[in-house]
Structure 1
Amino acid sequence: MSFYFKLRTYLGRDVEVILSNGDVVAGVLLTVGFSYVVVRTLSVPGYGGTEDVLIRLRVIEYVRIL
């Protein structure tokens, strides 16, 4: 099963996306496209407010499902 189709099975779940440069984006997996994913993160942890982050698949090292 391809990475794209496997990720689609986890829509709505909490994830950590580890990028090739070492950054980590944690949040809820909203959308999986053929070349991108969208993760809803807290804009200020502990204070609420959310932000949708678009991440290109080519920069993703791996995804951890929480």
Structure 2
Amino acid sequence: MELNKNKTVVLPFRPWGSDTDSIRESLQELGLSVVGNDDSTKRLGIYYGPKLTDTVRLDHLLADMQTR
């Protein structure tokens, strides 16, 4: 079994810092998509990101529900 690197997204639950930059860079060198501090990704239809607030997450969810 092999990891599908094209679909794998590494999502930190707290912002990357100077102490974790080397880990982030290593993951990127492996070809994985790594969510940056100011970025977000969708998981089960809900946006997540290291600095994404609950309010912004809810705004995305409500907008998606209105377009359905």
Q: TM-score, normalised by structure 2?
A: 0.25
In terms of fraction of residues, the more strand-rich structure is: 1
In terms of fraction of residues, the more helix-rich structure is: 2
Higher relative contact order (CA 8 A, sep 6+): 1
Of structures 1 and 2, the larger Rg is shown by 2
